[in-house]
C-alpha cells in the first residue's frame, strides 16, 4: 500500500527506492535498479565498476538544437537509527509514514538526501510529455563518505557544459557556491619519562560544537583550543607542565565539544586551580553568548609516566599557535565564510600526539597557503604534517547565465524571488566544476 500520492512520479519513485537499501558502500542494488529503469524506458545508460550510473535522454521534439543539460544527484544515504530500533540497513527497506505535512522513516533516517534528487531525475526521464533539451543524468555513489563516486566517474561520455546539482535542502532557494577542503594531521613523536610529581586531570565540557562547515562562522568554542590556551598560559606564568595525554574532539569536521588532558606539575592543586579559574573566567566572558554552559574542571589523578618538558611544551605551543575558526569571508556574498580551519581531533597514542585539522575554502590557493603556514608551525616544534588528498571547491560565479535564467523563470511562474545561498560545506558540485568545467 502506498504512503504517498504516487500519481506524482517523484513520490512513486521515492517509495520505490525506499524499498532498496542504499547506504554508502551498499549502492549496488539501487544502481542496478537504475540500469533496469533505463532499459525499461529504452534510454541509453552507462554504469561503471563503482556502480555510478549515467542515463541519457534525447531532446523532446523542437528542442533538438538546444545545449544538453546535466542533472546530478547521489544515490547513497546516511544510515542512522534510534538505539532501541531494530533495523538492518544492509537488507531492510525503510518503513515510511506521514505525520502532518512531513514524510518520515520509522526509527531511521529517511534518505531524502539525496533520494529526492534521484527521484526528480527519474521523474523527468520517464515523463514523455515534458519539453526539454538533451538530458544527461548522473547518479553517483559514496557522496556521504567523501565524494568517492564523483571523483571516480569517467565524464568523457558527457556532452553537456551546463549542470544543475539536485542535492539541496530547501524550496525557493538555489546554492551558488561551496567550499573545497583538505584534512591535515600534525604528528609529533614524544618521549616519556618516569613521573614523580602529582598528576592532574583537566576536563573541558559543555560546549555546543557543530559542523565545521555550517557553524564555523558562529565563533563557538573549540575544546581543543581552549585546552591549549589554558596550558600555554600556565607555562607563560612560570608553572611547569608535563603532559601525560590529551584526548579531544570526535571528528575532523566537527567543532570539538570536549577535551580531556592529563598532565603533571610541581605546583599544588590550589595554585593550579587559582590560575586556571582566572583564565577560564576570561574565556567564559568571551563565549557567554555562543557557549554559555562551558565547564572546566580540575582534579588530582595518577600517572606513572609523563612526557618530558621539551615535548610537552612543543605540543602545547603547536596547538596554541595553529589558528582556528573563521579566517576570511566573501567580498561578494555577505556572511559567507571563505576560509576556515577546525582543530577537530587531538589524540595521544603510544609515543605520538596527533592533531587533526579540517581546512575549508572554495579557493585552492587559500587552502594551500594555510597548509604551508601550519607546516611551518609544526616544523618549528619538531613535528611533521601529513595531508590528505584535497577535494575541490566551487567558487561563486557572478555571471552565471544558468542561474540568471533560473531566477527569471522562477519569478515568472511562482511570483517569488529565488533566494541565492552559498555554503561553507563541501558539495559534489565542486568536483564537477573542476572535472569538466561545467557552467554552474
Please give the positions annotated as active site: 76, 143
C-alpha cell at 213: 562547515
CA neighbor of 316 nearest in space, from 236, 250, 257, 384: 236
* Residue at grid coordinates 544492509: 90
CA neighbor of 186 nearest in space, from 331, 359, 70: 359
> Which SS3 state, helix, strand or coil, does residue 264 take?
strand
- What CA–CA distance (Å, rounded) separates 321 from 343? 12
C-alpha cell at 73: 544527484
- What CA–CA distance (Å, rounded) separates 93 from 22? 9
Question: Which residues touch 125 (CB under 8 Å, ≥6 apart)?
Answer: 37, 38, 41, 43, 55, 57, 135, 137
Cβ(164)–Cβ(400) below 8 Å: no
The DSSP secondary-structure symbol of 59 reads: P
- What CA–CA distance (Å, rounded) separates 148 from 163? 19
- What CA–CA distance (Å, rounded) separates 148 from 50? 9
Q: What sign results for the dihedral spanned by CA atoms 407, 412, 413, 418?
A: positive
Q: Within 13 Å of residue 333, how many CA atoms lie on the same side as its CB?
A: 21
For 52, counting Cβ atoms within 10 Å of its Cβ (0-12 exposed, 13-18 middle, 19+ buried), the class is buried
**DSSP bridge pairs for 342:** 358
- What CA–CA distance (Å, rounded) separates 226 from 316? 11
- What CA–CA distance (Å, rounded) separates 21 from 88? 9
Amino acid at each position: 500500500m502506498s504512503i504517498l500520492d504516487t500519481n506524482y512520479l517523484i513520490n512513486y519513485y521515492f517509495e520505490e527506492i525506499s524499498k532498496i537499501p542504499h547506504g554508502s558502500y551498499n549502492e549496488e542494488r539501487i544502481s542496478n535498479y537504475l540500469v533496469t529503469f533505463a532499459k525499461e524506458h529504452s534510454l541509453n545508460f552507462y554504469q561503471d565498476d563503482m556502480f555510478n550510473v549515467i542515463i541519457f535522454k534525447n531532446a523532446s521534439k523542437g528542442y533538438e538544437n538546444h545545449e544538453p543539460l546535466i542533472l546530478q544527484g547521489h544515490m547513497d544515504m546516511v544510515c542512522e537509527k534510534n538505539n532501541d530500533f531494530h533495523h538492518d540497513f544492509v537488507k531492510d527497506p525503510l518503513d515510511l509514514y506521514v505525520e502532518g505535512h512531513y514524510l518520515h522513516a520509522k526509527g531511521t533516517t529517511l534518505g531524502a538526501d539525496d533520494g529526492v534528487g534521484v527521484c526528480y531525475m527519474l521523474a523527468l526521464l520517464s515523463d514523455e510529455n515534458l519539453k526539454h533539451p538533451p538530458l544527461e543524468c548522473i547518479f553517483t555513489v559514496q557522496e556521504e563518505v567523501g565524494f568517492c563516486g564523483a571523483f571516480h566517474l569517467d565524464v568523457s561520455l558527457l556532452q553537456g557544459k551546463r549542470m544543475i546539482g539536485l542535492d539541496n535542502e530547501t524550496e525557493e532557494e538555489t546554492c551558488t557556491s561551496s567550499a573545497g577542503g583538505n584534512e591535515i594531521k600534525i604528528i609529533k613523536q614524544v618521549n616519556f619519562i618516569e613521573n614523580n610529581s602529582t598528576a592532574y586531570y583537566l576536563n573541558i565540557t559543555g560546549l555546543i560544537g557543530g559542523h565545521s562547515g555550517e557553524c564555523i562562522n558562529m565563533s563557538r568554542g573549540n575544546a581543543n583550543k581552549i585546552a591549549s590556551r589554558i596550558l600555554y598560559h600556565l607555562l607563560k606564568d612560570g608553572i611547569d607542565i608535563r603532559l601525560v595525554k590529551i584526548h579531544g574532539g570526535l571528528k575532523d569536521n566537527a567543532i570539538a565539544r570536549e577535551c580531556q588532558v592529563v598532565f603533571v606539575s610541581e605546583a599544588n592543586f590550589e595554585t593550579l586551580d587559582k590560575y586556571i579559574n582566572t583564565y577560564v573566567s576570561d574565556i567564559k566572558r568571551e563565549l557567554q553568548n555562543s557557549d554559555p554552559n562551558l565547564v572546566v574542571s580540575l582534579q588530582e589523578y595518577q600517572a606513572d609516566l609523563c612526557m618530558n618538558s621539551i615535548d610537552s611544551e612543543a605540543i602545547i605551543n603547536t596547538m596554541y599557535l595553529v589558528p582556528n575558526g573563521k579566517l576570511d569571508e566573501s567580498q561578494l556574498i555577505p556572511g559567507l565564510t571563505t576560509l576556515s580551519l577546525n582543530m577537530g581531533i587531538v589524540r595521544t597514542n603510544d609515543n605520538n600526539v596527533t592533531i587533526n585539522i579540517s581546512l575549508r575554502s572554495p579557493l585552492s590557493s587559500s587552502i594551500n597557503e594555510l597548509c604551508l603556514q601550519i607546516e611551518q608551525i609544526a616544523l618549528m616544534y619538531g613535528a611533521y604534517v601529513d595531508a590528505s588528498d584535497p577535494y575541490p571547491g566551487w567558487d561563486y560565479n557572478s555571471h552565471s547565465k544558468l542561474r540568471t535564467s533560473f531566477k527569471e523563470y522562477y519569478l515568472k511562474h511562482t511570483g517569488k524571488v529565488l533566494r541565492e545561498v552559498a555554503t561553507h560545506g563541501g558539495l559534489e558540485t565542486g568536483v564537477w566544476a573542476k572535472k569538466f568545467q561545467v557552467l554552474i
